[in-house]
């Protein structure tokens, strides 16, 4: 009887070990910005908004026994990799029908208020997108980013507007272009811009002009990299984190 029980226990352990090893080895890749490119523009990764987003994601994944693997990638390329499963997660993603075809969405983890920031001399003459586009000079945007329905519609109606845009590989490059006076304006989350304008030199040269779009942003989870079961587990953990106050507690740390 004892031999039979021992044999059964050994079999259970043998079957359980691969599953346990797989769970402990859970590692999900996430796209991060490139390193600092301009002293004046600072580091996008070091902003409170960015650090908060990744802290929330790290805490969420820990609930499922998973760890983050950070990959510095151009934004446009990262979206394509999210689609094919080469990247597991992207933070700060607006939910759109196109993205929903290849992504699950967990959150929201932040309310993104997209503003146009430009040179001081534009302050009293540029109050909307049409006035901005009527002025000469390049405007920097992030490749693959979503700036709201009005912006999308304008580009669809007049593809020549693309000639006015510099498509940056990421927010870090986009802000560096602004700080080096290579563009007249850029589109960025107001929370990031507020930190940027704490630098006296930049505050003297640039100002927020108007709001382009506002919407909640999410953790976009690749359908081709993460199973539906793990997604469901993460979604439940997120709700539990919100209800317990853990999400707000993490936010307070920034």
The mean pLDDT of 155-175, rounded to a whole number, is: 91
Going by C-alpha positions, the residue among 224, 230, 219 that lies closest to residue 22 is 230
- What does the pLDDT average to over 228-235? 98
Indicate the pLDDT class of residue 164, thresholds 50, 70 and 90. very high
**Whether residue 25 has pLDDT greater than 90:** no
> Mutual orientation of helices 228-244 and 48-63 as an angle, nearest 10°?
110
The class (CATH top level) of 112-215 is alpha beta
Q: Which pLDDT band holds residue 38 (cuts at 50, 70, 90)? A: low
**Residue 170: what are its φ and ψ, rounded to 5°?**
-175, 175
Confidence at residue 69, expressed as pLDDT on a 0 to 100 scale: 96
CATH no. of 25-111+217-252: 3.40.190.10
d(CA 179, CA 122) in angstroms, rounded, equals: 16
Q: What is the pLDDT of residue 199?
A: 86
Answer with the residue of higher pLDDT: 46 or 128. 128
Residues of the chain with CATH 3.40.190.10: 25-111+217-252, 112-215
Q: Across residues 10-26, what is the average pLDDT?
A: 48
Q: What is the bridge-based pairing of β-strands 103-119 and 185-189? A: antiparallel
């Amino acid at each position: 009887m004892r031999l039979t029980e021992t044999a059964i226990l050994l079999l259970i352990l043998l079957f359980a070990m691969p599953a346990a090893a797989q769970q402990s080895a859970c590692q999900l890749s996430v796209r991060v910005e490139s390193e600092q490119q301009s002293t004046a523009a600072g580091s996008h990764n070091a902003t409170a908004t960015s650090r908060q987003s990744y802290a929330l994601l790290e805490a969420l994944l820990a609930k499922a026994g998973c760890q983050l693997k950070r990959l510095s990638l151009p934004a446009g390329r990262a979206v394509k990799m999210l689609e094919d499963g080469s990247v597991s997660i992207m933070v700060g993603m607006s939910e759109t029908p196109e993205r929903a075809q290849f992504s699950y969405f967990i959150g929201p983890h932040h309310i993104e208020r997209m503003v146009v920031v430009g040179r001081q001399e534009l302050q009293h003459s540029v109050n909307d997108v049409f006035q901005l586009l009527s002025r000469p000079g390049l405007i920097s945007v992030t490749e693959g980013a979503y700036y709201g329905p009005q912006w999308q519609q304008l580009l669809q109606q007049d593809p020549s507007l693309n000639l006015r845009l510099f498509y940056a590989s990421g927010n870090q490059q986009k802000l560096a272009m602004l700080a080096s006076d290579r563009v007249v304006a850029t589109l960025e989350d107001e929370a990031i811009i507020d930190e940027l304008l704490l630098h006296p030199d930049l505050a003297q040269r640039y100002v927020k002009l108007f709001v382009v779009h506002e919407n909640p942003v999410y953790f976009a989870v690749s359908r081709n990299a993460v199973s539906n079961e793990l997604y469901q587990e993460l979604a439940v953990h997120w709700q539990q984190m919100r209800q317990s106050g853990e999400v707000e507690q993490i936010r307070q740390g920034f």
